[in-house]
Amino acid sequence: MKSVTTMRDSMGNDIPLKYVSAYDKLRDRVTRRIYARFLKARGVLEAVVKDTIDDLDTLKGGREKLGEKGNFQASSFDGLIKVSIKQQYNIRLDERVIRARELMLEYVKGVLDRVSGVDVSALRLLVEAAFKANSQGYLSTGKVLSLLRMEVNSEKWREAKQILQDALKPERGKQYLACEVRPTMQADFRAIRLDIADCWPEDESEVQG
């Protein structure tokens, strides 16, 4: 086995070991050890997800059926454990959404010019919020659908709703797995969080205090 005589730095240069400080050597070993630990944990989580989906597929009767609606839930016989898979749906709209927004805001402005009312002001806020995209460029499914469900006695509003309906482009988003447990039937379910931020060790002094 060939002995290591150099270490590569961040610039891609191979530095002889005698010129690398003891701290830099220690820092390199520690970061690589942590990386290996995280990589191993990631593999375990991927296996947990795969095995869980396989188990739910068995209950549902096949992966295709599980994917039709996306949502599925199963409970233990005593009702204390609940496992679920939830499908997120996003709404992306094409360029026609701009015209729909214009028409709805024109209607609201026209009413506000004639009368001042809390209800109309609230409607304007609802319209503005519904057409505000998130960082991924998606609109809130619930907010857009709430506008489509509104019945307003206005030709302009009805035209806007039709344009909005035609512009809708629903897309399947992420799927989420959850395993929840409760100590008794009278208690609320609590999720078992596979979140590294939720696994921070407790300070013994705080626990004892």
Structure tokens at 142: 């619930």
Give the pLDDT band (50/70/90) at residue 204: low
Distance between CA atoms of 168 and 81, rounded to whole angstroms? 38
161: left (phi over 0), alpha (psi -120 to 50) or beta: alpha
Domain extent listing, the chain: 12-68, 95-167
Residue 180's DSSP bridge partners are 82, 191
The residue assigned the tokens 């396989």 is 54
What's the pTM value of the predicted model, to 2 decimals? Answer: 0.61
End-to-end Cα separation, the chain, in angstroms: 54
On whether the CB atoms of residues 164 and 59 are closer than 8 A, the answer is: no
Task: Give residue 118's pLDDT.
Answer: 46
Higher pLDDT, 91 or 125: 125
On whether the CB atoms of residues 66 and 52 are closer than 8 A, the answer is: no
On whether the CB atoms of residues 39 and 49 are closer than 8 A, the answer is: no
Residue 15's DSSP bridge partners are 7
Distance between CA atoms of 117 and 37, rounded to whole angstroms? 60
The residue assigned the tokens 């907010």 is 143
pLDDT of 174 above 60: yes
The residue assigned the tokens 């188990």 is 55
On whether the CB atoms of residues 91 and 141 are closer than 8 A, the answer is: yes
Task: Give residue 67's pLDDT.
Answer: 44
On whether the CB atoms of residues 201 and 189 are closer than 8 A, the answer is: no
Helix (H) or strand (E) holding 198: none
Beta strand 72-75 with 14-16: parallel, antiparallel or unpaired?
Answer: unpaired
Using one digit for the tens of pLDDT, what is the confidence trace for 1-40?
678 899 999 999 999 999 999 999 999 999 999 999 999 9
Angle, helix 155-167 to helix 141-149, in steps of 10 degrees:
140
Higher pLDDT, 185 or 57: 185
Higher pLDDT, 208 or 149: 149
Helices (H) and strands (E) in the chain, counts: 7, 6
